[in-house]
Amino acid sequence: MLGFKGAGALGKRKGSDMGKEGMGEKPKYKRPAADTTGKGFSSNRKFLPKGLVILYEDRDILVVDKPAGLLTVATKTEKLRTLHFVLTDYIRKGSAKSRKEVYVVHRLDQQTSGVLIFAKTETAKLTLQGRWPETAKEYLAVVHGRLAERSGTIRSYLTENKASQVVYATTDTTTGKLSHTAYKVLRETKGFSLLEIHPLTGRKNQIRVHLADIGHPVVGDRKYGKGNEHYARMALHARSIAFNHPFNGKRLFFEADVPEYFDKFVGRIDREKQKYREKRSDQQNADAFSDLDGGSIGKAERVSAKISKGLAQIQK
């Protein structure tokens, strides 16, 4: 786990939720007056736990690389060890008097790692959610077995059993929501395949359910996969995301490093190409932000690569 500092200045508080607001009309974005100086964001990493990487931060948004094992928001049984809690403490700089908030734009499952966006104002959150259909996400997954088709799109209606919180496919179009997941096989080894995945819709547990339904569950998925598995984590990673900035509308792209954990199943992944893509995307982002004050490109502002003992155990 990450090296948490405890409750900090937050105390008991409700976790933000994406909800349904902002998913229809595109709200016109207007910055609060307090943020017009361009100094409405923190660059002090003192209040971040070891191992948490901020890919990008400005006065409107935070883009982070979520480690596997960390919740996005609070649950009934866990209130503190969540990314939402940690980032709220971070922007408040540990001050009990601060009223600053971070807002959840979307979520990743607890055992999924990768790129995640948070907003610093409710207006930014609603703007991002209103433009969500324009957002492009790419995942990497290691699954069991070899797929019969090298690429394709999985389609089904998904619904959820509220009691068990299990998502499943249904033929009832009145209760299920049509869901699409595109995939491409990148590499195959004995017993495993590395897939590039593009979720074309955003249902809960969609990727995991779709891959399990075609007989190739994600490695380490204890909910939809093989029940007798004993892996350190689930081999699902949100590798990249592209979206329009809520203030100037310009296109941004961020990519999170592929965990070395994946190498155990499919061999060493070429990270030189990944570094090239990251360097190129950083330049594109810098160009996009040439007219904004105070933006900070993540590679120059990353926290130390040294991670806490608990997180290191997950990555092994």
In this predicted model, what pLDDT tens digit does every residue of 157-174 receive, in sequence order? Answer: 999 998 999 999 999 999
> Any idea where the domains of the chain sit in the sequence?
41-315
On the question of pLDDT at 294 being above 90, the answer is no
Q: Per residue in 208-229, is it b (16+ CB within 10 Å) or e — as a string?
A: bbbbbbbebbbbbbebbbeeee
Tokens 């040439």 -> residue: 290
Q: Average pLDDT, stretch 281-286? A: 58
Q: What is the mean pLDDT of the chain?
A: 79
On the question of pLDDT at 301 being above 50, the answer is no
Q: How confident is the model at residue 7 (pLDDT cuts 50, 70, 90)?
A: very low
Alpha-carbon distances of 88 from 41, 118, 249, rounded to whole Å: 12, 10, 25
Instruction: Determine what percent of the chain is predicted with pLDDT higher than 70.
Output: 70
Q: Which of 35, 58, 89, 109 is catalytic?
A: 109
Residue 293 is a catalytic residue:
no
CATH 3.30.2350.10 fits 41-315, yes or no: yes
Are the C-beta atoms of residues 140 and 195 closer than 8 Å to each other? yes
pTM for this predicted structure: 0.76
Q: How confident is the model at residue 44 (pLDDT cuts 50, 70, 90)?
A: low
On the question of pLDDT at 127 being above 60, the answer is yes
Q: Poorest-confidence range of 167-181, 193-207, 272-286?
A: 272-286
